[in-house]
Amino acid sequence: MSGILIATLLATVSVKIPAGFSSGDLLYSDCGGSRQFVVGYVAGWLDKWNRDEYLARRIFTEVVPAPKAMVNSAYFANSVGVNVCVPVGTTAEAIGTTLCTFLEENPGIREATGDELMTTLIAYKYRCPVP
C-alpha cells in the first residue's frame, strides 16, 4: 500500500514540473507571486556557476589535465568568458528581485533561456573590477 501511495505522490509532483529548461517567460510568470521558483532558480544557477568555476580553476592550476579535459576546460573558459564578483552577503532573493526587474523592463528578451538571462544579468551587474 505504501508503494502505491509513493508512486501516486511522485506522479502528482512530476506532473507539475515543466518540461525543458527554464525560460524568461516562466521565470517572469513567478515574479508577481511568491518568487519561490525565481529564487530557487537563481540559487541553483549560482551553485552551478561556483562549481564550474572551481573545477575550471582546479584543472588549470592543480594538475596537468588529460588532453580531453584541456579541450573541455578551454571550451568552458572561451564560452563563458565572464568574470563574476558577487559581493559577499548578496542573497538569492536580492538577485531574484533584480532578475524580475530586468525581465519586467526588457519584455523582448523573455524568450531566452534562464541560463542566458542569468549570465547576461550577472555579467552586467556583478562584473569584477579591472585591476
Q: Record the cell numbers describing residue 90, joined without a space.
A: 548578496
Q: How many CB atoms lie within 10 A of CB 130?
A: 5
| Residue 86 pLDDT grade (very low, low, confident, very high; cuts 50, 70, 90) | confident
pTM of the model: 0.65
Poorest-pLDDT segment among 4-18, 35-49, 75-89: 4-18
Give the pLDDT confidence of 93-115 residue by residue, as tens digits. 999 999 999 999 999 999 999 98
Q: How many CB atoms lie within 10 A of CB 122?
A: 21
With a CB cutoff of 8 Å and minimum separation 6, the contacts of 26 are 18, 37, 114
User: Residue for cell digits 531574484?
Assistant: 96
Sequence ranges of the domains in the chain: 21-125
